[in-house]
Amino acid sequence: MYLKHAANGRLVEILSIADLFNPIHSELVGRYHAGEELQDPEKFVKTDLVFPSGEELPQCWVDAHYKDDDAHH
């Protein structure tokens, strides 16, 4: 799966899909997709990543407490 780094617009290949979907994990492992050679894996903060279309990641992927406000209503 590829996401885009919001600050620089470069594509990031996500190597730890489980971390992407787990809202408790604020970081994940990926690597920039550039050139012919594979880039070295590095950690990315999930809130710095967006879908290639520019759409933000779903709250349930980045915020473990995304439903807390709903419980009080």
Answer whether 59's CB lies under 8 Å from 66's CB: yes
- Residues 17-54 have pLDDT tens digits of 999 999 999 999 999 998 888 899 999 999 999 999 99
Q: Please tell me the predicted confidence (pLDDT) of residue 70.
A: 61
Look at residue 69 in the predicted model and tell me its pLDDT.
Answer: 67
pTM of the model as a whole? 0.84
Q: How confident is the model at residue 72 (pLDDT cuts 50, 70, 90)?
A: low
Which residues contact residue 3 at a Cβ distance below 8 angstroms, ignoring those fewer than 6 apart?
11, 12, 14, 30, 49, 50, 51, 52, 57
